[in-house]
Amino acid sequence: MFDVAIIGKGPAGISAAVNAFARNKSVVIFGGDSKKVLLSPSIPNYPGLPEISGKDLMERLNEHLKLTNATIINKTVIAVYAMGNYFSIQAENDFYEAKSVILATGVDFKKSIENEDTFLGNGVSYCATCDAPLYKGKVVAVVGYNHESVEEANFLAEVCQRVYFIPMFKGNFKLKENVEIINDSPIKFEGSLKAEKLILKNNAIEADGFFVLKDSLPLTSLVPGLEVDGPHVLVDKRMETNIKGLFAAGDITGKPYQVAKAIGEGQIAALNAAEYLDQKK
C-alpha cells in the first residue's frame, strides 16, 4: 500500500510528488504528461523561468520527478473508491491501494450530452466492460470519443444482439458484423425512467442501453461521493475535499488555470496529506 497516490502528472501532480517525497512518503503517480502544458508555446509568467516553452517545462518537471521515489504508472484511472481507512484506485483493469489520494487531473471542458448525467446508471454507462453483461441479447448504442471505444464496441457486439457505433473522431474502423456505424452528432438522451432514445442531429436511435466512452470521466464518476461545483472539486484551505484523506490541486480546483497556482496547490495538498498520514499513525 502506498502512502500517497497522485492522479495526474501535470505541474500540480508532480509538485505534490516532489513534496510528498520530501516528507518521506511512498508515492504512486498515474497518468501521462499534461497535454495542456505540452501544447503551450510559451509560459510567460512562471517566476524564474521567463518564456519557457510548455515542452521544456514538462521535461524539467519529469526530470525532477525522476529524482523522487515515485512509482510512475502511465494508465488511465477509472475510479477512486474511498474504502474508509484507505483508498482503492482502479487504473484500467488493475487495482492499487493508497492511504491518501491527491487529485490533479486538470479540468475537462468537453460538454456532456444533454441528460447524460441524469440517466447515468439508468440506461447510460461509462464502462462497457463493467456493464456489458446486463445487456446480453439486447440492443445498445456506443458514443465513442477515443480509439479504445472501437474495441469496446466490438466487445459489446459479442454479448449484445446489435450495436450502434457513433464515432466522435475520424478513422477506419474494423467492426464486427452486428455493429452499425452512424455518422452523426449526439444531442440529447430522452426517456421516462431510463434513457430510451438518443436524439442525434439528423436522426434518433432507440436502444436498451447507451455507452458513452471517453478519456476523462466526469469527476463524480471518477470519485463516487465527491462534492463538486460544475467541473471543479470543492476543497478547503488545506486542499482537502469532502472525503477525508482525499486532496485536490491544480486546475481541477478552479481558476486561475496557471502553472504557478497548480504547483503551489500541489505542495499544499502534499504537505497536508503527509500531516493526515502522520496523525493517522
Partner 1 sequence: MVIHVTDADFNEKVLNSDKAVLVDFWAEWCGPCRMIAPVVEEVAENLKDNLVVAKLNVDENPMTASLYGISSIPTLVLFKDGKPLGKIVGFRPAAQIESAIKGALGL
Contact flags string 213-232 toward partner 1, x per CB under 8 A = --------x--xx-------
> Judged by CB under 8 A, which stretch of 21-29, 76-84, 146-154, 256-264 contacts partner 1?
76-84
- How far apart are the C-alpha atoms of 158 and 47, rounded to whole Å? 55
Q: Out of 69, 122, 185, 203, point to the residue binding partner 1 (CB under 8 A).
A: 122
Phi-psi bin for 207: left (phi > 0), alpha (psi -120 to 50), beta?
beta
SS3 content of the chain, % helix, strand, coil (to 5): 30, 30, 40
> Judged by CB under 8 A, which stretch of 44-52, 125-133, 146-154, 197-205 contacts partner 1?
125-133
How far from each other are the two terminal CA atoms of the chain, in whole angstroms? 14
- In the chain, the amino acid numbered 243 is I
User: Should residue 83 be labelled a site residue for partner 1 when binding is judged by CB under 8 A?
Assistant: yes
- How far apart are the C-alpha atoms of 63 and 144, rounded to whole Å? 35
User: Should residue 204 be labelled a site residue for partner 1 when binding is judged by CB under 8 A?
Assistant: no
Positions in 131-150 near partner 1 (CB under 8 A): 131, 133-134
- Grid coordinates belonging to 154: 466490438
User: Should residue 209 be labelled a site residue for partner 1 when binding is judged by CB under 8 A?
Assistant: yes
- Grid coordinates belonging to 216: 476523462
Residue 271's contacts (CB-CB under 8 Å, 6 or more residues apart) are 19, 23
Is the CB of 161 or the CB of 203 nearer to partner 1? 161
- How far apart are the C-alpha atoms of 127 and 152, rounded to whole Å? 9
Contacts with partner 1: how many residues (CB under 8 A)?
24
Report DSSP state, residue 193: S
Alpha carbon separation from 177 to 143, 154, 173, 174 (Å, rounded): 18, 9, 12, 10
Q: Out of 8, 11, 31, 123, point to the residue binding partner 1 (CB under 8 A).
A: 123
Is the CB of 57 or the CB of 141 nearer to partner 1? 141
Is the CB of 221 or the CB of 258 nearer to partner 1? 221
Instruction: Provide the 3-class DSSP secondary structure of residue 93.
Output: coil
Is the CB of 73 or the CB of 159 nearer to partner 1? 159
> Judged by CB under 8 A, which stretch of 25-33, 46-54, 129-137, 141-149 contacts partner 1?
129-137
User: Should residue 155 be labelled a site residue for partner 1 when binding is judged by CB under 8 A?
Assistant: no
Binding residues (CB under 8 A) for partner 1: these are 79, 81-84, 88, 90, 95, 120-123, 125, 130-131, 133-134, 193-194, 209, 221, 224-225, 243
